[in-house]
């Protein structure tokens, strides 16, 4: 907004939001959020697989004790 030659605050804001640098930053944030969400869901899936494995191993041990 400071690099805009306009004195009216509304026009400075419009200039700032339409500036290519700002748009580039927003695109970077968008990519980062998409990656973060992807990694978060991958982590949740991995944790679920571990829980299934733990349950299976517990069941196997319980079954072995009963034999």
Q: Average pLDDT for residues 51-58, to the nearest whole number? A: 97
Is the model's pTM score more than 0.75?
no
The full set of domain ranges for the chain reads 9-66
Tokens of 66: 């009963």
pLDDT attached to residue 35: 98
The answer on pLDDT for 19 being more than 90 is: no
The answer on pLDDT for 9 being more than 70 is: no
22 Cβ partners below 8 Å, 6+ apart?
16
Q: Average pLDDT for residues 35-63, to the nearest whole number? A: 97
């Amino acid at each position: 907004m400071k690099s805009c030659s306009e004195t009216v605050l509304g026009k400075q804001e419009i200039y700032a939001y339409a500036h290519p640098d700002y748009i580039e930053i927003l695109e970077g944030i968008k990519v980062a959020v998409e990656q973060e969400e992807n990694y978060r869901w991958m982590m949740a899936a991995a944790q679920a697989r571990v829980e299934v494995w733990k349950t299976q191993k517990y069941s196997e041990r319980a079954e072995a004790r009963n034999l």
